[in-house]
A and B are shown apart, each in its own frame.
Chain A
Amino acid sequence: MTEPRRKEDDYRAIARDGAKAAWPICLGYFPIGLAFGVIAGKAGLSPVEIGLMSLLVFAGSAQFIAVSMMTGGAGLIPIVMTTFVVNLRHLLMSSSLSVFLRDLGSWRLALYGYGITDESFAVNLTRFRDEKWDWRRALVVNHLSNAAWVGSTVAGGYAGEFIPHGAFGIDYALIAMFLCLLVFQLRGALYWLIAAAAGGLAVFISILLPGNLYVVAASVLAATIGVLVRRKSKTPEEST
């Protein structure tokens, strides 16, 4: 992908486009970040420690799990191993994104990797595919989301208990965002089929097995089914 040089390719335009794409993520992170800050504070972490953890780990579910394991008195190794397994799904996301980041040098890739979350992945991938999107704008999305996460978790550590629970339906922001991002991905009958298969498998596996492995297992299976179906229905007609 060669970088399209646009007239408005100055930093202000890049920041504006990135912010436009990132605000639903930031909105969605806010209640979860606050909640995390409150819980981590109760588990004995100071706001500074909370901020550092959010900055270094930057993973919602893994951080919640880690804090609950800490309260349960778990040691470092089990916490680190659980974190690793919970975040294995990012292997798949990073692989998908790599197709669009071919021109980036190692340092920029290393920086990009830091910002991959479920949310930034889905927002950026959709934009990479549908419009003129580039790594600069994508990085703005990554880092604004990161700032919102770090900021809201620290705020939760300081003052979380004063914020009313479930205000303005904000707890639904991330689910609504995922619903819309899924709609963006449904670009034909086969995608509907794959999404249905992934969802069904995920529900099935999540009931059978504890933990978060169902995300990776169901996605890998469903995408493989998709490849097999496409291969059967068409003689190798290239469609990317």
Chain B
Amino acid sequence: MGLVTYIPRWLPLALLSKRDLPSWFKTWLDFIPASILSALLLPALVTSGEPRHLDIFRPELLVALPTFAIALKTRSLGLTVVAGMFFFWLAGKFF
């Protein structure tokens, strides 16, 4: 298990960091973070269950809206995390 989690983490570093990459590939890599974060987040906010199904009436999604707004406004990781936790705790009082 340790090995198969390690290899995908290490291999691209070892292979790519020493080479000059074509510019389209650099652009592609530049788009990867935004894509991955969004691909990790959105299903966590709007789907639930096993097997997964669409479920938009979740406190996770509701709380995400003010949290996202605070992130946009403050651009502070720490503040966003604390605010998100507070909103989620608050939402827990009503749901």
Cβ of B63 to closest chain A Cβ, rounded Å: 6
Which residue of chain A has its CB nearest to the CB of B59? A172
A240 and B26 form a contact (CB under 8 A) = yes
Q: How far is the CA of A218 from the CA of B31 in the complex (A)?
A: 12
**At the interface, is chain B mostly helix, strand, loop or mixed?**
helix
Interface membership of A8, Cβ < 8 A: no
B1 and A79 form a contact (CB under 8 A) = yes
**At the interface, is chain A mostly helix, strand, loop or mixed?**
helix
Which residue of chain A has its CB nearest to the CB of B86? A169
Cβ of A197 to closest chain B Cβ, rounded Å: 8
Tally inter-chain residue pairs, CB-CB below 8 A.
Answer: 262
A179 and B60 form a contact (CB under 8 A) = no
The interface on chain A, measured as residues whose beta carbon lies within 8 A of the other chain's beta carbons, has a size of 94
Picked from A23, A95, A125, A175, the residue with its CB within 8 Å of the CB of B78 is A23
Q: How far is the CA of A100 from the CA of B57 in the complex (A)?
A: 40
Picked from B8, B77, B78, B88, the residue with its CB within 8 Å of the CB of A172 is B88
Which residue of chain A has its CB nearest to the CB of B29? A96
Q: A240 — which chain B residues lie within 8 A by C-beta?
A: 23, 26-27, 30
B9 and A176 form a contact (CB under 8 A) = no
Cβ of B11 to closest chain A Cβ, rounded Å: 7
The interface on chain B, measured as residues whose beta carbon lies within 8 A of the other chain's beta carbons, has a size of 67
Interface membership of A186, Cβ < 8 A: yes
Q: How far is the CA of A114 from the CA of B14 in the complex (A)?
A: 12
B23 and A238 form a contact (CB under 8 A) = yes
B42 and A202 form a contact (CB under 8 A) = yes
Using known A-B contacts A95-B29, A169-B86, A203-B46, determine if residue A179 contacts B38 with beta carbons closer than 8 Å: no
Using known A-B contacts A99-B26, A173-B84, A214-B43, determine if residue A122 contacts B31 with beta carbons closer than 8 Å: no
B52 and A183 form a contact (CB under 8 A) = no
Which B positions have Cβ atoms within 8 angstroms of A? 1-2, 4-6, 8-18, 21, 23-24, 26-47, 51-54, 60, 63-64, 67-68, 71-72, 75-78, 80-81, 83-90, 92
- Going nearest first, the 6 A-B pairs with the smallest beta carbon separation are A176-B84, A113-B10, A169-B89, A199-B42, A56-B2, A172-B88
